[in-house]
Amino acid sequence: MKFFKSMTLGATMALTVLPLLATQANAETLTITIDSTLETLDPHNSTANAVASISNGVMQRLIGFDKDMKMVPMLAESWTVNDNATVFTFKLRQGVTFHDGTAFDAAAAKVNIDRLADQSNNLKRNSMMRVVAKTEVVDENTFRLTLKEPFGAMLATLAHPSIVMHSPKSLAEDGGDVSKHPVGTGPFVFNEWVPGERYSVVANPNYWEAGLPKVDGVNFLTVKETATSIAMLKADEAQFVFPLPPELFETVEADEQFDILEVPGITVRTASMNMAMKPFQDPRVREAFNLAVDKNAFIQVVFAGHGVVPTSPIAANTAYYSAQEAYPFDLEKAKALMAEAGYADGFSIEAAGRNSSDETRTLQFLQQQLGQINVKVKINPMEAAARSARFFGNDVTGETATFGLALGGWSPSTGDADWHLRPVYSTEGIIPNIYNMAFYSNPKVDAFIASGLNSADDDVRAAAYAGAQKLIWEDRPVIWLAAENKLAGARADLSGVFPMPDGTFAYANAGFE
């Protein structure tokens, strides 16, 4: 009996250890945990950061971003732009082939841009290419793009992580297939996708850039519980964890086997004040709200100190940022302004946001802070579908929106001022259209944004966006809360995988030292 018992025990132990040994032997495979499930593998048809992140090793763009979101050549080696920003000519890299063996050339680029620009395809990223009038194959390696109207942010838009180049063959075979089996030119080839669970890629032996890829493959696991992903990192079941929740920063940092990767983000967290509501039409109330919230304390409480107080509607490392004077925490002045506006006794509002841990904490924080100027805040953390209907449902208008404060966080993945100011602060951006949850409309701001958009001249654009930022800062349609740092945890010997300021991450250069 005892013998039998130990036999069973031994067998069980062997069975438990075997899979572990198998992963150990294959040490050159990298495992990354992500916090969301993937709905599709086609970046053209997704607005999710996770989809853009897992795709950037498989499919590439004409123009890429470096660590600091500065544009760098990728599949296009060089480009020229005419003066009024309507004609863009790209010299493409030669000798690049897709994973299915077909060559990457101007015709392939044309197919992809045409696919995005065609409104009848109903792709989620169609809006970014709607400005395209004509695409031309000049010669095998020269591709030309002509726009309907001048658009100064076109290059940055092409560098957006979602504007990737699919193999034309894979698009032609079956239009829907690239959402399940993408084919690109990157250092990694699609291997397997189990929706809701994992996604994996393997090394591309024919990759065009010398020395890459450095690992045999990459697995992506969806792990929603942050504590679990940290446990996996510590057990070496994962070597890269993104995002790393700020409250667990110290636990990971304390262990020298692991590194923390921290970059300043370009996401600006805001609480939009519903300007369709009477109290928020008074600029003194909006100023009081901005003064009554202690942003330094906010960053401590919600992001464990990993962030900066915004000094403009856009983050400091977004192109054309222009610094404004920060609003100090001044409770006395806030109270005086409220009294002046006739709200000495405050009023009641609802604050709505996601039910994620950071936004739930944000809502409670605002409730505490605004309580100091007698504003009674009822907080409403909503799950994704409810939030989406509440903020972006087709019937949302200023008259029907009942929330007083709406939490938001916008990061311009083009790295350009336009794709932050236009969605969040222009009249065109008012929800449900894009992301202007304050129902803020200032014709002067709209004019500045339009003049920046319609030029490719750096000085003209800088002047236009500086003007827009100044006006928005004075109008205060939102409470600017924080621009949080993007955090990732990694095994110390891992290199080439890093978080990007826009909330995605890059892994094409992954390697173990």
Partner 1 sequence: MTTLTNDTAQNALVKDTKMRSPLSEFWRRLKARRLALFAGGLLGLLFVFAFAAPIFLPFTPDAFDYANTLKEPSFLHWAGTDEFGRDVLARLMFGAKLSLLIGSSSVTIGAVIGVTFGLFAGYYGGWIDAVTMRIADVLFAFPGILLAIGIIAILGPGILNVIIAVAIFSVPAFARIVRGGTLGLKESTYVEAARAAGAPDRIIMFRHILPGILGAVIVYFTMRVGTSILTAASLSFIGLGVEPSVPEWGAMLSAGREYLMAGKWHLTFFPGFAIFLTVMCFNVFGDGLRDALDPKLDETK
Residue closer to partner 1 by CB (options 27, 231) is 231
Q: Is 17 or 297 the residue whose CB approaches partner 1 more closely?
A: 297
Is residue 485 within 8 Å of 52, Cβ to Cβ?
Answer: no
- Output the smallest distance, CB 296 to partner 1, in A: 9
Single residue of 102, 126, 355, 442 touching partner 1 by CB under 8 A? 355
Site string for partner 1, 39-78 (x = CB under 8 A): ----------------------------------------
Rounded-to-integer distance, Cα 412 and Cα 93, Å: 27
Please, which residue, 309 or 434, has the CB nearer to partner 1?
Answer: 309
Toward partner 1, which CB reaches closer, 155 or 252? 252
Radius of gyration of the chain (CA): 25
Instruction: Give the dihedral of Cα atoms 357, 362, 365, 366; nearest 10 deg.
Output: -150
- Residue 374 as a binder of partner 1 (CB under 8 A): the answer is no
Judged by beta carbon, residue 20 or residue 227, the one nearer partner 1 is 227
Other CB atoms within 10 Å distance of the CB of residue 91: 17
C-alpha 203/C-alpha 219 separation (Å) is 11
Q: Which is nearer to partner 1, 405 or 438 (CB)?
A: 405
Q: Within 13 Å, how many C-alpha atoms sit on residue 80's CB side?
A: 4
Nearer to partner 1, 59 or 299 (CB): 299
Residue 191 interacts with partner 1 (CB under 8 A): yes or no = no
Q: Given the DSSP bridges, would you call strands 71-73 and 63-65 parallel, antiparallel or unpaired?
A: antiparallel
Interaction of residue 227 with partner 1, rule CB under 8 A = yes
Peptide bond into 432 cis (omega under 30): yes
Q: What is the footprint of partner 1 within residues 228-287 (CB under 8 A)?
A: 230-231, 245, 247-248, 250-251
Determine, following the binding rule CB under 8 A, whether residue 102 of this chain makes contact with partner 1. no
Among 190, 365, 440, 498, binds partner 1 (CB under 8 A): 365
CB of 301 to partner 1, least distance (A): 6
Tell whether residue 226 is a contact of partner 1 (CB under 8 A).
yes
Minimum CB distance to partner 1 smaller for 251 or for 509: 251
How many Cβ atoms are within 10 Å of 398's Cβ, its own excluded? 15
Those residues whose C-beta lies under 8 Å from the C-beta of residue 485, and which sit 6 or more positions away, are: 262, 263, 264, 265, 303, 306, 307, 308
Least CB distance to partner 1 at residue 227 (A): 4
Encoded amino acid at 68, one letter: D
Site residues (CB under 8 A) for partner 1, limited to 450-469: none
Q: Are the C-beta atoms of residues 422 and 436 closer than 8 Å to each other? A: no
Counting beta carbons within 10 angstroms of the beta carbon of residue 299, is it exposed (0 to 12), middle (13 to 18) or buried (19 or more)? buried
Q: Of these, 126, 127, 364, 495, which contacts partner 1 (CB under 8 A)?
A: 364
Distance CA(168)–CA(100), nearest Å, equals 10
Residue 367 interacting with partner 1 (CB under 8 A):
yes
Closest to partner 1 by CB, 162 vs 369, is: 369
294, 475, 484, 502: which one binds partner 1 (CB under 8 A)? 294
Q: Which is nearer to partner 1, 178 or 363 (CB)?
A: 363
User: DSSP label at 41?
Assistant: S
Residue 199 binds partner 1, judged by CB under 8 A: no
Is the separation of the CB atoms in 506 and 56 below 8 Å? yes
Tell the smallest beta-carbon distance from residue 249 to partner 1 (Å): 8
SS3 211: coil
Judged by CB under 8 A, the stretch of 101-109, 295-303, 427-435, 505-513 that binds partner 1 is 295-303
Transcribe 323-378 into DSSP letters. --PPPP--HHHHHHHHHHTT-TT--EEEEEEE-SHHHHHHHHHHHHHHHTTT-EEE
Residue among 24, 257, 357, 397 that touches partner 1 (CB under 8 A): 357
Query: Which helix (H) or strand (E) segment is 72 a member of?
Result: strand 71-73
> In the window 416-445, what residues touch partner 1 (CB under 8 A)?
none
Distance in Å, CB of 446 to partner 1, minimum: 37
Q: For residue 166, give Cα distances in angstroms to 145, 212, 265, 504, 509.
A: 18, 20, 29, 20, 20
Considering only 381, 412, 489, 503, the residue that binds partner 1 (CB under 8 A) is 381
Tell me whether residue 127 or residue 251 sits nearer to partner 1 (CB atom).
251
Q: From the CB of residue 42, how many other CB atoms can be counted at a distance below 10 Å?
A: 25
* Interface with partner 1 (CB under 8 A): 226-227, 230-231, 245, 247-248, 250-251, 294, 297, 300-301, 355, 357, 360-361, 363-365, 367-368, 378-379, 381
